[in-house]
Structure 1
């Protein structure tokens, strides 16, 4: 069997859904890796809740770079067990089934979280079954579409800023791609915890990032950031070395012993060795679904201390167009699919 071989989903792999949900659902699938055009609308079996999972009727699904990379055959495509595959990590929706009667999340509750895609069908679909430790209550002040954009980007931003960089009062932090899905949340979290934030972006987003808490904003299209910034404590690189050696050039902005965190580490072979040779510390990062942390993020959103920006909303059937927009880059905030 080759990784790109197409198979039908058989009854031996998927059991019949409970009587109060349809046997099949509408989803976006792809049969082989490729460009956005490989995404198509299809009817597939509705997933079954098992063990500690929660079955959720999906209202909205965020579109993330990892989705596009996986669709193209990179990202986590190697973990796809069979095709046709359903992408999508982020979701917001309504609980249909809980693990047991006394579970805190009950049928009818509005929740958001991260699916186990690509090992199982993801959230570009009308239903998703997700481990309960990956699901939290939706922020009250957000619509389902807004909430569907939050989980992966917010948990990534939290992990980078809080867990790895340990943001604190007076710390200087340089955040690349500050206007992106993760970047605009990382800027807010860093400022919230007292860091002095410098962000790179295009001129169109400069005033917006200042409103979000950036102390200084550098237009990367006209200015070499290393000519403006020195002695920062932490660099959060959401770009990598795929564009104008952003990662390598960032080493020159750090104080001796400073920390560089590279999210797209695949774009920079030898990342750790180069940082060590320059006298800097380094770390990659990979987000982990965490309902407890999502609950904290919900409280920050509901208190008005954290805001998510939606750039575009597409109906589910236009997922290919959403992927094409994402891959063109320079998107402010997040792209979301609305599920019928």
Structure 2
């Protein structure tokens, strides 16, 4: 089978396709014929060596974490799934395994049945950023129609899910994005649109109960300028040092720095699937065929678009 791997850290040019043996499943696993996998910022952070403490430095490495496909074979101890089921999910270890192969062996714990009314490309886009959005929502605590929330970098895959989940909570949401993607922020439920190329959100007079930085560029220190007295700064892209540091500093300040570390779970997938049944949109910006995988990663890393980028197997 074909699989995408890399044998050294670097940019998208280090990616290559190789032939590998089709996985042989264990009794507690399911074999999936992959239809599509999505691209997430985590993919290139791992590939560039920025997360080697968690991903390790053993090569070759596979890329990709979430996928959709069709059940090809079911292990003898697996229940609730059968050959032919349309599913989506993640690889067992998102830091070390990869979804960019024609076949995958996974456990049912990281697998969910695909809703009939969404495509394989849409389903492949849900797990990683969807789980992150659901976890961020949980970290925000009780939200009401009076809650004022700023989402910085609001129109990527993460923002797509988060804005729509916040809309379902009736929160007052301000979205910061580029001029070419603000229309999506409005469509996804933002009440106020802020074009970062024209307005520096840090110099405006508005204050917020919650600030979440999806771009990874604002930082808690800057965000404090636009936070209310007992506000939360939600950080889904922390530097390693920020994790223990935030816990210590939160003991001495009312403006809390909240770290979001997420993984797909039964709880957050049920929340997302329920939201999809209630009209949540999964926007696919562009679909690339497998043979254009390098172009797909280069396009995704450049950014500046709304929604998700997906690679599709023919």
Fold in common (TM above 0.5): yes
SS at match of 2:9: coil
Task: Indicate the residue corresponding to 2:233 in structure 1.
Answer: 260
| Residues 233 and 257 in structure 2, CA contact (< 8 A), matched pair in contact too | yes
SS at match of 2:234: strand
| Residues 55 and 128 in structure 1, CA contact (< 8 A), matched pair in contact too | yes
Task: Indicate the residue corresponding to 1:164 in structure 2.
Answer: 139
Task: Indicate the residue corresponding to 1:188 in structure 2.
Answer: 164
1:162-203, Cα deviation, whole Å (9 max, x unpaired): x21135222111111111110111111011112111110012
SS at match of 2:310: strand
Which sits farther off after the overlay, 202-211 or 223-232?
223-232
Which sits farther off after the overlay, 274-283 or 173-182?
274-283
Task: Indicate the residue corresponding to 2:256 in structure 1.
Answer: 281
1:104-139, Cα deviation, whole Å (9 max, x unpaired): 121111011111245654111111122211111112
Measure the CA separation in 1 of the matches of 2:53 and 2:156: 23
| Residues 131 and 262 in structure 2, CA contact (< 8 A), matched pair in contact too | yes
Q: Over the residues paired in the alignment, what is the CA RMSD in angstroms?
A: 2.3
Structure 1 residues 268, 195: CA separation in 2 closer, same or farther (over 3 Å shift)? farther
Measure the CA separation in 1 of the matches of 2:103 and 2:44: 21
| Residues 37 and 99 in structure 2, CA contact (< 8 A), matched pair in contact too | yes
Q: Does residue 183 of structure 2 align to residue 210 of structure 1? A: no
Where in structure 2 are there 5+ consecutive unaligned residues?
none
SS at match of 1:133: helix
| Residues 88 and 117 in structure 1, CA contact (< 8 A), matched pair in contact too | no
Match for 1:151 among 127, 131, 142? Answer: 127
Q: Write out aligned runs for 1:100-115 (5 A).
A: 100=76, 103-115=79-91
Task: Indicate the residue corresponding to 1:333 in structure 2.
Answer: 307
Measure the CA separation in 1 of the matches of 2:249 and 2:206: 18
Where in structure 1 are there 5+ consecutive unaligned residues?
1-24
TM-score between both structures, scaled by the size of structure 2: 0.91
Q: Does residue 14 of structure 2 align to residue 41 of structure 1? A: no
Q: Write out aligned runs for 1:122-161 (5 A).
A: 122-161=98-137
Cα deviation for residue 67 of structure 1 reads: 0.5
Cα deviation for residue 102 of structure 1 reads: 6.6
Cα deviation for residue 288 of structure 1 reads: 1.2
Q: Write out aligned runs for 1:292-303 (5 A).
A: 292-303=267-278
Structure 1 residues 204, 308: CA separation in 2 closer, same or farther (over 3 Å shift)? same
SS at match of 2:155: coil
| Residues 96 and 108 in structure 1, CA contact (< 8 A), matched pair in contact too | yes
Cα deviation for residue 268 of structure 1 reads: 8.0
Measure the CA separation in 2 of the matches of 1:247 and 1:94: 43
Which sits farther off after the overlay, 112-121 or 215-224?
112-121
Which sits farther off after the overlay, 316-325 or 35-44?
316-325
Task: Indicate the residue corresponding to 2:286 in structure 1.
Answer: 312
Cα deviation for residue 276 of structure 1 reads: 6.6
TM-score between both structures, scaled by the size of structure 1: 0.84
Structure 1 residues 180, 300: CA separation in 2 closer, same or farther (over 3 Å shift)? same
Task: Indicate the residue corresponding to 1:9 in structure 2.
Answer: none
Which sits farther off after the overlay, 58-67 or 107-116?
107-116
